[in-house]
Amino acid sequence: MSKPEEQFAPHPYTLKVWHSLEGHLHNKIIHLPIGFGLAAVFLTLLSLRWHEYEPAIRWLVMIAAIGAVAAFVTGTRQAVALEGGSKDWVIQLHRALGISTMTVLCGWAIVAWLPRLKRWSLLLAILSSALLFVTGFFGGILAHG
């Protein structure tokens, strides 16, 4: 018979990499459009004075838009587990705001690559930053309570 201490000894932790990556994938991917989108907003403000930032802005916004599409897809999958609960209205609001954010980032990505539409970049940058903050606020409520 084993000693009482050995009965309660913790088992070594087994890392399941794919399970860890796949679990709550939306919560991991969402940082792409937030980080790259806000970096693009910051550089857009700087580009009002220094135009050499414009190529970097185009790429940052493109990555943010692609990340937003991935976040929408993974968020839609993840929301199924939460729907019907007490936070259902928060899920619906977060989804609507997320779709709006994705749409504006995709629109900004298109505008950033078309020089004749450049005049809309600042407006889309400001709108993107507002949407990223508000959408992220409600996403934080879902993730952290």
78-97 pLDDT tens trace: 888 877 888 899 999 999 99
Q: What are 14-28's pLDDT values in tens digits?
A: 777 766 666 688 989
Percentage, residues of the chain above pLDDT 90? 70
Task: Say how far apart CA 66 and CA 17 lie, in whole Å.
Answer: 24
The band of 145, judged by pLDDT with boundaries at 50, 70 and 90, is: confident
Whether 110 has a pLDDT exceeding 90, the answer reads yes
Task: Say how far apart CA 134 and CA 132 lie, in whole Å.
Answer: 6
What mean pLDDT value characterizes the chain?
90
CB count within 10 Å of CB 71 equals 27
Q: What is the SS3 assignment for 82?
A: coil
* Domain ranges for the chain: 29-79+86-144
Q: Which of 2-11, 64-73, 75-84, 91-100 has the lowest mean pLDDT?
A: 2-11
Angle between helices 31-47 and 54-79 (to 10 degrees): 150
pLDDT at 99: 98
Report pTM.
Answer: 0.83
Burial of 21 (0-12, 13-18, 19+ CB in 10 A): exposed
